[in-house]
Homo-oligomer: A and B are copies of this chain.
Amino acid sequence: MKLTAAVLTISDSCHRGQRQDLSGPRLSRLLSENNFEVVEKRILPDEEPAIAQSLRYLAQNIRFIVTTGGTGIAQRDVTPEATRKVCSRLLDGVSELMRAEGAKHTRFAALSRGLCGTIGAAIVLNLPGNPDGAEQSLRSVLHLIPHALDLLAGKTEHSV
């Protein structure tokens, strides 16, 4: 059975229609190729309350929610803040791994503030806004997600 996923593009300019969302479709395709069923795609502005509300709502029915955008350090980048607010637990090792792998591709990977956390039985993963960066980051940790979702759902025979 496929795991359900959602892709949230978080970008003021994409939300206003001033820029084409290239990252969202790339991530949807990659998830589909890896046995996830992408059941929701949204484009949101860089607004913490709107992001937090969407994450909370989607996590009720969808197991894996990836966001793209808003992980940098510009004033409008608030995706990590929204994610921290709604997640009951953060998986620091997943963000560490994304940055460590990202550093092999870009010298600025260390500036990404993207988080990974859990809400109930769902996992939220913050990816950068750049399409190449978003895809590379997702590839670097995607192997962890099905196992993590099993553990969250109570299949705990292989504990970590």
Contacts and interface: CB of A to CB of B under 8 A. Distances in A.
B73 A118 contact: yes
A74 interface: yes
B130 A73 contact: no
B113 A73 contact: no
Contacts of A71: 160
Contact of A74 (B93, B96, B97, B154): B154
Interface bin, chain A: 35 or more
Contacts of A156: 72, 74, 76
A93 B111 contact: yes
A85 B40 CA distance: 37
B129 A110 contact: no
